Amino acid sequence: MLDFNHRPTITDRLNALVDERLVADNANRSPRDYLGGSRVGVACERALQFEFTATPKDAGGDFSGRTLRIFAMGHVLEDLAIAWLRSAGIEIFTRKGNRPDGEQFGFSAAGGRLRGHVDGIITHAPEALGLGSPALWECKTMNAKNWRSCVKDGVVKSKPVYAAQIALYQAYMEPSVPGIAASPALFTAINKDTAELHHELVPFNAELAQTMSDKAVRILQATDAGELLPRLTNNPDFFECRFCSWAARCWEMPR
């Protein structure tokens, strides 16, 4: 029921202005012209095609101001995590030369159409931690529910998209950082609700890396040929479809 007695508060008005600016700035950013390595693990290959080709999203499918604020908070928490790990004696490089203005570490493949940027590379750690080096470091922020699931089941089971990213990055970073695939990656998860930290070692999964690499090639080749890859499911009410930014477009198509 509409509340006709409600008058916009300072919170309503100011938040509307903040979110309006965030949405406008995001809309002005140039879309990616490559398939992101952090996204290849997404289950639906058709959705990844839409993403890769910057296909317009459904009405209401663009990021809201609140979502963009959540993304921004994640970047800040990642910077804090880097500082915390360094204070614990871990030598971690996030950019070349370890300079704030240095180029981010990453890889480029398939003529630049598959790319990834790593959160960090560990070059040394206190012996008591048993960390090998060089090692990949990946950091994610999560709400309390997802964080507890990650702690309970591990990143490979609870967050397969992240596990796919880690394996792919270890494989593709090996030529530029020899030995990075030999040491388990360090995965850090930050509970955004409580500031709790979870760390786990993720050994290199060569089979998963190859599967994800083959998947990326399949997406690129199908897109080049003008072919639309199959939907993930035949049920439009499937969980992932209900949260897909291209669901309406996809299910309006004949196949």
Task: State the pLDDT at residue 100.
Answer: 64
Task: State the pLDDT at residue 5.
Answer: 67
Task: State the pLDDT at residue 58.
Answer: 87
How far lies 37's CA from each of 110, 112, 212, 233, in Å? Answer: 12, 11, 9, 23
- The DSSP symbol for 105 reads P
**Tokens of residue 16, six digits:** 């509307």
Cα–Cα–Cα angle for 212, 218, 219, rounded to 5 degrees: 90
pLDDT tens, residue by residue, 155-214: 999 999 999 999 999 999 999 999 999 999 999 999 999 999 999 999 999 999 999 999
- Residues 171/179, Cβ–Cβ less than 8 Å: no
> Residue 158 CA to chain centroid, in angstroms?
15
Task: State the pLDDT at residue 2.
Answer: 52
Per-residue pLDDT of the chain (255 residues; tens, 9 = 90+): 556 567 889 999 999 999 999 999 888 888 788 999 999 999 999 999 999 999 988 877 678 889 899 989 889 999 999 999 999 999 999 987 666 666 889 999 999 999 999 999 999 999 999 999 999 999 999 999 999 999 999 999 999 999 999 999 999 999 999 999 999 999 999 999 999 999 999 999 999 999 999 999 999 999 999 999 999 999 989 989 998 989 999 999 877
- Residues 98/56, Cβ–Cβ less than 8 Å: no
Quote the radius of gyration of the chain (alpha carbons, Å): 20
Q: What percent of the chain has a predicted confidence (pLDDT) above 70?
A: 95
Give strand pairing partners of 122: 92, 135
What's the CATH class of domain 32-37+62-226? alpha beta
d(CA 133, CA 49): 35
**Tokens of residue 182, six digits:** 């030999």
